[in-house]
Structure 1
C-alpha cells in the first residue's frame, strides 16, 4: 500500500485537513497562551497544579505509599536536555496511507519543529513555539497560523499550552495533584496516581471538570494517562511503552499511543526509531503564493 500509491492518489488523500491533525498529534507526543489554572501552585510551576474542588471529600493519608516525597521527586524531576531530534513512523486511523515518516526536533522551552515525508517527498512542515502553531502543506500550497485553542478543540480539552505539550509528548507528568486530592496506590503494574474527586481546570474562556488517572511503572516511568470529562463522554488516553535510557541518562518512550473518544474520536500510534541530542537547522518559511487556511 505504501509503495503502490501514485501522485494522483497522493493529491486526493494527503490534504490539509487530513495531515494537519496528524502532524499536530505527532508534535503533541513530544512537546502560548498563558493558562490560568484553578488550584494550588507548587515549586514545579511548569505543570498544572490542581487543588480539590470538593473539600469535603477525604484525601489520601499517604499510608499506601511509604515515601510520598520520593515518589513525587521521581515523577517530576528528570535529567534535562537542550535539543532532541526524533525519527518516527506514524500510523493514524484517519490517514489512508501509513505509516508516514516524520522528523521531530525540540529545543526545550523554545520551539518544536517537525517535517513529514510521503514517498520521499517533503510534504509538510510545522513549527510550534510558545506563541502558537504554524504548519504548511507543501504539496497543496496551503498553510495555517493558529493559537493553542485549535489543539485544545481538536483534543476536546482545555489545558494544552506549549510547556504542557513538551511534557506530555516526552512522557513527563504535566499535572501536579496536591496532597489534598491525590491518592497513590502501589499495584501490580507499579504506582497509580489518581485524583480523589473531580479536578476543575479554569482557562480564559472555559471551565471543565476532569477525573485524572496516571499509571507509573516500578521504575517510575509514566505508562498511561487517562482523563475523563466529568460532564460528558469525552476522554483522552495516552500510553507510553518501551522506555529507553539514552547515553545522557535521559529516558524516552519508543512507542506512544493517543486515543480520543467522545464527541470526537481519533487514534494515532507513533513509533520512535531514533533519538539524537545534537542541534539541527529548522527551516520554516511560507512562500507568498501559499493560501492561508482558517482552521475551525
Structure 2
C-alpha cells in the first residue's frame, strides 16, 4: 500500500447512498437499560460540525506488510469543502493529497506517480462501494459516517454507553452495485462515536475503526487517536495520532510536479 491511501484516509467517511431493507434479522445486543428518547439520540449523533476550518498535526503509522516509516502529517479541513494533506517521512516530503466533493487527487514523490480520480479509487482500496466526500470528512473527525435510523437499527444501552446494531443486513447501492453489510456502532455516554465494525456479508471483508483519547475544542469533540483496520485477503492497519488542532485558515497548494506518471488501481 503506497501513501496514497494515507493521504486520502485523512478524509474518510461513508456516503448517504440509499439503504434498503431486507427481511433477514440480525442478532442484536442485549438491552441493559431502556432508551427513553430515541429521537434525541439519533439527532445528536448526526449533528453536523460547525467549525469553519481546522488544521490537524498528526503522526501516522501503517502496518501493510511492507515497511512504511512513521509519517508526519498536516491535515487541513475546510468544513464541507476540502480535505488537504501533506506527508513527510524522516524530514523528506513524501506525498500530498486533496479531496473535494468532486473527487480525489494525490501524488507520491518517491516514485513520481499521481492519482486523479472520483471516489471509486477509494472504494477499491477499501473493498467497499459507498464512499463520498461528506463521509470521508465525518470519518476522520470521529462522527457518524453511516446513514442510521430507528427503523433500521436496534439501539441499546450498556455500562459504557450505547450500541447501534443493524436489524437486517443493510443494502447499499452505488453506481448499480449493491452490497450487503452488517453494521455495529458504539458510542460513549456523551454520544461520541467510539467504534465501528462494518462486515461485508458477501465476502466477510471488514472495516474496523476505533476512536479514543478525545479532546473538547470549540465545543466539539475531536479524537486524538484513530485506528483503522481494513480486513480483506490481507489485513492493513493505519494509526493516526492527532497531536495538535488549530482553527485558523491556511494556504493549501496542490499541483502535480512535471514528469509524474498517472497510476490506476487494478
Paired residue for 2:22?
Answer: 53
Q: Deviations over 1:141-178 (max 9, x none)?
A: 22111111110111111110011111111111122323
Q: Is the 8 A contact 1:215 1:225 kept in 2?
A: yes
Structure having the higher Rg: 1
Q: Does 1:165 align with 2:167?
A: no
Unaligned runs of 5+ in 2: none
Paired residue for 2:221?
Answer: 251
Match of 2:157 among 180, 186, 196: 186
Paired residue for 1:207?
Answer: 178
Q: For residues 25 and 222 of structure 2, what CA distance do their matches in structure 1 show?
A: 39
The number of equivalent residue pairs is 263
Q: For residues 81 and 195 of structure 2, what CA distance do their matches in structure 1 show?
A: 26
More helix by share: 1
Q: For residues 230 and 173 of structure 1, what CA distance do their matches in structure 2 show?
A: 21
Alpha carbons of structure 1 residues 99 and 192: separation in structure 2 relative to 1, 3 Å: same
Q: CA RMSD in A?
A: 2.4
Q: For residues 147 and 264 of structure 2, what CA distance do their matches in structure 1 show?
A: 34
Q: Deviations over 1:39-77 (max 9, x none)?
A: xxxxxxxxxxx35322889x99x9831111121122111
Paired residue for 2:95?
Answer: 124
Q: For residues 234 and 179 of structure 2, what CA distance do their matches in structure 1 show?
A: 17
Alpha carbons of structure 1 residues 26 and 166: separation in structure 2 relative to 1, 3 Å: closer
Match of 2:7 among 15, 23, 31: 23
Q: TM-score, normalised by structure 1?
A: 0.82
Shift of residue 264, structure 1, vs aligned partner: 4.3
Alpha carbons of structure 1 residues 230 and 64: separation in structure 2 relative to 1, 3 Å: farther
Unaligned runs of 5+ in 1: 1-16, 39-49
Alpha carbons of structure 1 residues 272 and 56: separation in structure 2 relative to 1, 3 Å: closer
More strand by share: 2
Q: Does 1:290 align with 2:260?
A: yes
Q: TM-score, normalised by structure 2?
A: 0.91
Paired residue for 1:105?
Answer: 76
